[in-house]
Structure 1
Amino acid sequence: MKIFVTGHRGYIGVHLVDQLKAAGHTVVGCDVDLFEGCAWEKVTDPDVDLKKDTREITEQDLDGCDAVCHLAAISNDPMGDMDPEITYSINRDASVRLAEVAKRAGVGRFLFSGSCSVYGKGDNDDALKEGDKLNPLTAYAKSKIETEEQTAHLADDGFCVSYLRNSTAYGHSPMLRIDLVVNNLLASALSYGEIRIKSDGSPWRPLIHCADIARAFVAFCDADAGAINGQAINIGGNDENYRVKDVGDGVERLIPEAKVVYTGEHGEDSRDYRVNFDKLAELVPGFRLGYNLRSGMEELHKAMVDHGFNAEMFESDQFVRLKTLRNRFDRIGVSA
């Protein structure tokens, strides 16, 4: 298959390009390269590399493509809240437009990188399923669910549209980020000898290795279109729901000299939810996670140690997307 991947230079996208090519697919990558220079290891290049804003993708760019894997976005809550207007422009409006362009171009399936953050704060103790009440609390989360709502009508027998509601990502990537809870706690422990938990540690999060999100997209490219068409599907594993304090305990196991510190700067965390992944197992039965939290943390810890990760790296722009974005916002049409 010929697969068009947006955001292929991102934290997850570099894994997806590598996995798609390993599976024998031809990959067209499209990325504005907003985070140029942030790589800490060599990345696998796509067969065709477009340096282009997703808001400007044309039918010609998609010529001959069988599927679009749409990852490109302003990629988390702090960045999304920095300028909600640009978040909606890129995450929602450009995504809806791209789905429409893909359908006109004759692409067979459109796979959208959504988020379990659309659940916000769960109303009860049950793990949340796709049909449960949504409670998006941020511009990022709202942009994801509004994209689902505004593209649903495009799905038909000739155009498969699927929404991958990803768990909170973590883990090793050639485009490392430390502005993610697991990665941040490991980086803090290595840099300062403190596992700095910014809440009281009680909120639940569904967690997934970034390479497993990429693995899910590969599986969806090959999945039965009739099964996944028009479906929002949680991406993760039922055993991979954790409290933030559980992550802190895992870091302490790897770095026993580091001590857990509850800074309390975020107060009561408004995002608190566990997620159910039965629908994924039912509709895409061939998909399996390659990591659990323990193995993923061990891999990342080893990589950080091998790279000599330290406080200077922790405080640099390279691994914190919000810092980089503030410095480069003018490249996507906004003054910082």
Structure 2
Amino acid sequence: MKVFVTGHRGFIGSHLVDVLKQEGHTVVGCDVRLFEGCEWEPIVPADVDLVKDVRQVEHVDLDGCDAVMHLAAISNDPMGALNAQLTFDVNRDASIRLARIAKEAGVPRYLFAGSCSVYGQGEKLDLDESDPLNPLTAYAQSKIETETEVSKLADDSFTPVYLRNSTAYGHSPVLRIDLVVNNLLGSALSYGEIRIQSDGSPWRPLIHCRDIANAFAALARAPKEVVHNKAINVGANSENYQVKDVGDQVQRLVPDAKVTYTGEVGADPRNYRVKFDLLYSLLPDFKLQYNLASGMEELHRKMVEHGFGKADFEGDRFVRLRTLKHRMDRLG
């Protein structure tokens, strides 16, 4: 296959290029390089590397492609809160436009990086794809509205698929520490404290960033009739955790670190435990490569190898929100 990947130099995208190349696919990458310099290890290059804002993608960029894998976004709730309109411009409007262009260009499959955050403050635990959505942020709302609009484009020649990904974590050549697992481990190594900003009770489904890449590849290979126009939770039932459970895992890896509940964010209304039965019914051979324990062990080993410490934790390089604040003019 020839695959067009947006955000291919990001936290997940750098894994996705590697996965696709290992499977023998040709990769056309498209990335505005907003976070250039955030890499901490070499990344696998795409066959074609477009330095382009996803809002400017044209038909010619998609020539001969068999699939679009769309990851580029203002990529979490705090970043979305920084500028809600920009979040909708990039995450919703550009995503819908890209789907239209892909369809017009004859690309048969469009895989969209959505999020389990669409469930927000869940009305119950163990939410599946048929349960009500309760978005609490511009980021989550943008994902829902994209699903709604892109679904209208689905027909015999165009198959969109919406990956409602669990909260990502883990080692990547383009590290992020503004994600709950990575943040707590980074805090332990930097301060000897596992600083939990809530009371630790909220539930989150968690998934290693490489497993999201593996899911994209698997859903691209799946027969059309299996995945056509479906929203699919991506993760595993066994990988739902309370934030305090993550703190316990960090303490296992950094025994001298103490757990501190700072309470600075108050009661976190985002609380969702998610079911993933649909994914495994559609793709019975799909399995996660990591669980939380093994993924955190790998990340801990990498952080120690790199000498990760307080300067890294407090700097801009691995925190997308800080980098974005300094580079907003490149998106405007």
- Bucket of the pairwise TM-score, normalised by the shorter protein: over 0.9
Task: Quote the Cα distance in structure 2 between the aligned partners of 1:285 and 1:161.
Answer: 20
Task: Quote the Cα distance in structure 2 between the aligned partners of 1:74 and 1:122.
Answer: 23
- Partner of residue 49, structure 1: 49
- 1:286 positional shift: 2.4
Aligned amino acid, residue 148 of structure 1: E
Task: Quote the Cα distance in structure 2 between the aligned partners of 1:281 and 1:94.
Answer: 30
- Partner of residue 84, structure 1: 84
Task: Quote the Cα distance in structure 1 between the aligned partners of 2:30 and 2:286.
Answer: 26
- Partner of residue 169, structure 2: 170
Deviations 1:190-212 (A, max 9, x none): 00000000000000000000000
Q: Which runs of 5+ in 1 are unaligned?
A: none
Deviations 1:68-118 (A, max 9, x none): 000000000000010000000000000000000000000010000000000
- 1:285 positional shift: 1.9
Deviations 1:253-272 (A, max 9, x none): 00000000000001100100
- Partner of residue 264, structure 2: 265
Indicate whether 1:73 and 2:97 are aligned: no
Aligned amino acid, residue 222 of structure 2: A
Task: Quote the Cα distance in structure 2 between the aligned partners of 1:244 and 1:194.
Answer: 15
Residue 121 of structure 1 contacts residue 270 of structure 1 at CA under 8 Å; is this kept in 2?
yes
- 1:283 positional shift: 1.1
- Partner of residue 198, structure 1: 197
Partner of 1:112, secondary structure, is strand
Task: Quote the Cα distance in structure 1 between the aligned partners of 2:140 and 2:229.
Answer: 19
Indicate whether 1:281 and 2:242 are aligned: no
Indicate whether 1:293 and 2:278 are aligned: no
Indicate whether 1:147 and 2:140 are aligned: no
Q: CA RMSD of the aligned region, Å?
A: 0.5
Task: Quote the Cα distance in structure 2 between the aligned partners of 1:226 and 1:136.
Answer: 29
Task: Quote the Cα distance in structure 2 between the aligned partners of 1:95 and 1:314.
Answer: 32
- Partner of residue 37, structure 1: 37
Aligned amino acid, residue 137 of structure 1: L
Partner of 2:249, secondary structure, is helix
- Partner of residue 18, structure 2: 18
Task: Quote the Cα distance in structure 2 between the aligned partners of 1:48 and 1:288.
Answer: 30
- Partner of residue 245, structure 1: 244
Task: Quote the Cα distance in structure 1 between the aligned partners of 2:34 and 2:44.
Answer: 18
Task: Quote the Cα distance in structure 2 between the aligned partners of 1:102 and 1:186.
Answer: 40
Residue 238 of structure 1 contacts residue 277 of structure 1 at CA under 8 Å; is this kept in 2?
yes
Q: How does 1:208-223 map onto structure 2 within 5 Å?
A: 208-223=207-222
- 1:294 positional shift: 0.2
- 1:227 positional shift: 1.0
Task: Quote the Cα distance in structure 2 between the aligned partners of 1:9 and 1:314.
Answer: 21
- 1:157 positional shift: 1.4
- Partner of residue 9, structure 1: 9
- Partner of residue 131, structure 2: 132
Task: Quote the Cα distance in structure 2 between the aligned partners of 1:225 and 1:319.
Answer: 38
Using the size of structure 2 for normalisation, the TM-score is 0.99
Aligned amino acid, residue 28 of structure 2: V
Using the size of structure 1 for normalisation, the TM-score is 0.98
Aligned amino acid, residue 288 of structure 1: K
Partner of 1:29, secondary structure, is strand
Task: Quote the Cα distance in structure 2 between the aligned partners of 1:9 and 1:311.
Answer: 25
Task: Quote the Cα distance in structure 1 between the aligned partners of 2:284 and 2:151.
Answer: 23
Q: Which runs of 5+ in 2 are unaligned?
A: none
Residue 111 of structure 1 contacts residue 161 of structure 1 at CA under 8 Å; is this kept in 2?
yes
Aligned amino acid, residue 24 of structure 1: G
- Partner of residue 309, structure 1: 308
Deviations 1:247-304 (A, max 9, x none): 0000000000000000000110010010000000011222110000000000000000
Task: Quote the Cα distance in structure 1 between the aligned partners of 2:208 and 2:72.
Answer: 18
Aligned amino acid, residue 183 of structure 1: N
Count of matched residue pairs: 332
